[in-house]
Amino acid sequence: MIEKIILDWLSAELDVPVYLEEPKELPERYVLIDKLGSTENDFITSATIAVQSYSASLYGAAELNAKVKKAMAESVSQGDICRCACTSDYNYTDTETKRYRYQAVFDITYYEE
């Protein structure tokens, strides 16, 4: 499951907690992974993954987003992922809760077990 692969990878590479769903108690800085969709063609699996970087400040969210993009670019070295491309990243501050966040969207091609 690509979400688990990304969760394990980012947890090892980043110095903040990484989650697949919103935690009940919110840390000051954390990363949230969301699978937006996937496709399979001729036994090749691809997924679109959004990674949201939360922080107490806009600068902190942008800085964490840069670390996420670097870690994701290096994810091809771990074996299951054969391609990872950041297609977009942007300020995604939650206007309702006033929580600062950035979102990076990745197209990932990987091996499904």
Kindly report, residue by residue over 11-55, the tens digit of the pLDDT. 999 999 999 999 999 999 999 999 999 998 887 899 999 999 999
Domain ranges of the chain: 2-110
Cβ-contact 47, 108 below 8 angstroms:
yes
Report pLDDT digits (tens) over 99-113: 999 999 999 999 876
**What's the angle, vertex CA 27, arms to CA 21 and CA 31, rounded to 5?**
45
CATH number of 2-110: 3.30.2000.30
pTM of structure: 0.93
pLDDT of residue 113: 66
* Token representation of residue 106: 């990745």
